[in-house]
């Protein structure tokens, strides 16, 4: 698989706490240059990034990030605010404590409320796989499907581990046919990216693939 064919699945991401506007402009420029699927930025930068990119790049942002334990009302407000500021896609974090307590109905209702706020905009649901058992992951596949979200996503990149091949395989065996998969966290090489795509992921949350593309420009990319 050529790198340009991988890049179109990438949500080019910068979510570090110390991120600055100058850094945001660079990742927006790179996302446009390399034709990524979107640029994923903190909510406080959505308005500026949308104004900067215009229609040249989709703006993705994160809700309830990275811990997921904001109230549902807070997450809905965050979502509405992000959309008003120009976000095209929303990546939300579930309440992981609720999953541990088997309060799956509460998680489903929260996802439904956020999807309602999203309307026709894409909603991706981060379940933080490294903190869940396989049984909890399987239940979350069911919940995400029933709630009407567009994607299930592995990780925030801010917990104990990121995406694994095993988790994407497990997702593929348990999600509904209308749910897509996003692998995020720890995607460090083209081999990683290819493997996740071959397993059925259609989005990759990473900044490293663009970094590789930039380093390869001199060799003919």
Catalytic residue (choose from 88, 153, 167, 180):
153
Catalytic residue (choose from 75, 150, 182, 192):
182
Active site residue 214: no
Specify whether the CB–CB gap between 199 and 169 falls below 8 A: yes
Catalytic residue (choose from 11, 88, 91, 192):
91
Please list the helix, strand and coil fractions of the chain in percent, rounded to the nearest 5, in that order: 50, 15, 35
CB atoms within 10 A of CB 36: 27
Active site residue 182: yes
N-term to C-term CA, the chain: 13
Burial-class residue 29 by CB neighbours within 10 Å (0-12, 13-18, 19+). middle
Q: For 102-140, b where at least 16 C-beta lie within 10 A, e where not — what string?
A: eebebbbebbbbbbebbeebbbbbbbbbbbbeeebbbbb
Angle 125-1-163 from CA coordinates, rounded to 5°: 30
Q: Which residues form the catalytic set?
A: 91, 153, 182
């Amino acid at each position: 698989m050529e790198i340009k064919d991988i890049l179109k699945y990438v949500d080019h991401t910068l979510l570090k706490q110390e991120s600055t506007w100058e850094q945001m402009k660079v990742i927006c420029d790179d996302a446009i240059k390399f034709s990524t699927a979107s640029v994923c930025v903190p909510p406080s930068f959505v308005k500026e990034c949308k104004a900067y990119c215009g229609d040249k790049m989709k703006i993705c942002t994160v809700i309830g990030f990275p811990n997921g334990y904001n109230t549902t009302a807070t997450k809905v407000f965050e979502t509405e605010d992000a959309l008003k500021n120009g976000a095209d896609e929303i990546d939300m974090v579930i309440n992981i404590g609720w999953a541990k307590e088997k309060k799956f109905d509460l998680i489903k209702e929260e996802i439904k409320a956020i999807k309602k706020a999203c309307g026709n905009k894409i909603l991706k649901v981060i379940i933080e796989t490294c903190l869940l058992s396989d049984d909890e992951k399987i239940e979350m596949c069911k919940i995400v499907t029933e709630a009407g979200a567009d994607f299930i996503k592995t990780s925030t990149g801010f917990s104990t581990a990121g995406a694994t091949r095993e988790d994407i395989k497990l997702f593929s065996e348990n999600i509904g046919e209308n749910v897509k998969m996003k692998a995020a966290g720890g995607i460090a090489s083209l081999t990683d990216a290819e493997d996740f795509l071959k397993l059925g992921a259609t989005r990759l949350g990473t900044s490293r693939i663009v970094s590789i593309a930039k380093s390869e420009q001199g060799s003919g990319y």
